[in-house]
Amino acid sequence: MSHYETLGVDRTSTPEQMKAAYRKLAKQHHPDLGGDPEKFKLINEAYDTLSDPDKRAHYDYSLNNPGSHHPGNFDPDPFGFGFNHPINEVFNQHFQFVFNQDGFTAQRAQPKNRNVRVTLDVDLLETLHDQVKIVDIKLSNGSEMIELNLPSGITDNQTFNLRHKGDNEFPGLPRGNLEIAIRVKPHDKFYRQNQHICTDVTIDCWEAVLGCDLELTTPSGKDISLRIPAGTQNNSIFGIPDEGWPLVPRNLRGKLLVRVSVLIPNTLTPEQMQLVREIQKRQPVNS
């Protein structure tokens, strides 16, 4: 299956069309949303190739010339610096490799300013809905405020790439690219578990025996009363629909899962202990 077939687009598709197809498939097959990890990997590989003009040109050539192959003696790193070595960044700023019938040839690429990478902290509850963030980017020539639209369901370490929003050190050259990495901050009350948002509450043993009503605030900000029935056991879980993780693109949500811990008192008076013994004598729990 070709990369075009993987994304469900044809070979004349524009970058915008491929991006739209990729985003739809990525959300559909993301492992965090129950998708197939291998399928998700193929989708990312396909988009990584087709979204880059040079990679796409090389790939199209290989499709049109199935018997062709890369020159056997080509070494992309002949001096052993490693692809992350600073010298390679400088080299790639000025040259690019183009594949043709005669093999790889180095051509001078258009110089540009350096790329910029920043980290944006986002609260867990903010990831549950669409939002707009203003990011202050520090550049060589001052700073710039960037407006970033974040969709619901974003995850930790997810990145957003903005072309020509990077550094501006040399005014006569095109700006580099801007990469914004998302860092989701832990919440003191809620945490994520697959498609659900979870929280832990504690009740005493008498509330567990007799039943009680718990006043809660859900991740969406609703104040609710959760009924805990009489006889509730330790680590019982209660689910509240439509208060969990957004299941894009189906416009559905998981549940808010409330796990109840039962606290056994350890400071009873002698009189209280005697009452407990009387209850146990009249109707032993394990009888």
pLDDT, one tens digit per residue, over 18-52 is: 888 988 888 888 777 778 888 888 998 998 899 88
> Does residue 68 have a pLDDT over 80?
no
> Does residue 256 have a pLDDT over 90?
yes
Query: What token pair was written down for 200?
Result: 């832990």
> Do residues 136 and 215 share a domain?
no
> Do residues 153 and 239 share a domain?
no
- Which of 35-44, 73-82, 193-202 bottoms out in mean pLDDT, i.e. has the lowest? 73-82
Identify the helix (H) or strand (E) that includes residue 271.
helix 270-282
> Do residues 248 and 276 share a domain?
yes
> Do residues 104 and 125 share a domain?
no
> Does residue 70 have a pLDDT over 70?
no
| Structure-token match 């040839």, residue found | 105
Q: Is 133 helix (H, G, I), strand (E, B) or coil?
A: strand
> Do residues 274 and 213 share a domain?
yes
pLDDT value at residue 93: 47
> Do residues 30 and 85 share a domain?
yes
pLDDT band of residue 285 (cuts 50, 70, 90) is low
Q: Percent of the chain having pLDDT more than 70?
A: 82
> Do residues 213 and 240 share a domain?
yes
Average pLDDT estimate for 111-123: 92
Distance CA 65, CA 163 (A): 32
pLDDT band of residue 211 (cuts 50, 70, 90) is very high
Average pLDDT estimate for 165-179: 90
Q: Is 287 within the bounds of a domain?
A: no
- Among 185, 209, 233, where does a domain finish? 185
> Do residues 164 and 90 share a domain?
no
How many CB atoms are closer than 10 A to CB 205?
13
Q: What is the mean pLDDT of the chain?
A: 83
- Which of 101-110, 230-239, 264-273 bottoms out in mean pLDDT, i.e. has the lowest? 101-110
Q: Is 264 within the bounds of a domain?
A: yes
Q: Are strands 223-228 and 95-100 parallel, antiparallel or unpaired?
A: unpaired
Q: Is 133 within the bounds of a domain?
A: yes
**What is the domain range of residue 103?**
3-71+78-108
List, in sequence order, every beta strand (DSSP E) within the chain.
95-100, 103-108, 116-123, 131-139, 142-150, 159-162, 178-185, 191-193, 196-204, 212-217, 223-228, 236-240, 246-247, 252-253, 256-263
Q: Give the predicted TM-score (pTM) of the model.
A: 0.57
Most confident among 25-34, 93-102, 161-170, 229-238 (mean pLDDT):
229-238
